[in-house]
Amino acid sequence: MAGAIDRRPRHAHSPTLQGAMVLNISSPSSDAGVMARYFSSANFSPNGFNFEQWKDDEFDAALQTISEATDPATISAAYRKAHERIVDNPPWLFIVHDLNPRAMSPKIKGFVSPQSWFVDLTLVGLQ
């Protein structure tokens, strides 16, 4: 493939990824602290968890507003903006956003809908 063009985003070449092309990260981004931990440009590795070195100035500005504002409407608007930036300029490809796993076949027995993030699959079987 000599001469092939590498179309991966700049952050895909991060040396901290050590050549990895796929990571399975299960993290709620519903909390501003978690969003900051994974996506704030201030948290590039090795200083934090932003290992892909994703940077979005609008996202960082929204996080700054969330951390400094006291007005609930201002905080809500900044939170919405931060979430929009993660959706519109994603730091990685989101494959699954499954809040409620379901067993959809009548052949599946023993499945109990989880009341948390954890699903006990040791009880599940097929008939």
pLDDT at 99: 61
Using alpha carbons only, what angle is made at residue 13 by residues 8 and 16, rounded to the nearest 5 degrees? 140
* Start-to-end C-alpha separation, the chain: 48
Cα–Cα distance, 28 to 118 (Å, whole number): 13
Helix 72-88 to helix 57-68 angle (10° resolution) is 160
Question: For 58-99, what is each residue's pLDDT tens digit?
Answer: 999 999 999 999 999 999 999 999 999 988 998 887 766 556
Q: What are phi and psi of 102, to 5 degrees?
A: -130, 150
